[in-house]
Amino acid sequence: MSLPIVEQIADKINTRLKDVTIANGYNYDAAEVVRPKREGIRNPKHLGIYLTQDDPISEGDHQGNPPVTGWEQPFGIWCFIRPDDEDTVPIDTINNQFAADVMKALAAPANWHRWDNLAANSRMEMEQLVDPEGVIDGMLVRLTVHYRTSETDPYTARD
């Protein structure tokens, strides 16, 4: 079964996130790396990583034979922090290290932003997760991947 380009990219992101372990040189072992089911993120674990996909944005068509459709695909990488009450490390330190681990894992390979030539470019941003009561829940790493496919074939990557 073949997968559309966007799903191949999502699979590569998921695979890189699974490398976040102390044995691989990171500060923490990710408790789990999950692409949530239909009901979304439920009961996130301390040091859990959850990969979600937002609505794609068409970047418009480009000339070619056949024509090319450009896409901007946002992904959310939710890094939850739930230390126990006895933990003496400041929450911001854990947040910063864990988010940095995630970003480092995503960008580990040379030409990381190309996703094995499936994409043209990628960029990362991050923001702190704070619940309505003001409790810090972790960090959200936003990854936006720019890729192109044949206009009539979302299974074929194009430059």
Interval 6-61: pLDDT, tens:
999 999 999 999 999 999 999 999 999 999 998 888 899 999 999 999 999 987 76
Across 54-152, where does the E strand assignment appear? 57-62, 68-80, 121-130, 136-150
DSSP 8-state class, residue 70:
E
**Exposed/middle/buried for 130, CB within 10 Å: 0-12, 13-18, 19+?**
exposed
- The band of 124, judged by pLDDT with boundaries at 50, 70 and 90, is very high
Q: Which two tokens stand for residue 157?
A: 């990557």
pTM to 2 decimal places: 0.93
In this predicted structure, what is the pLDDT of residue 34?
97
In which element (H, E) is residue 50 found?
Answer: strand 48-53
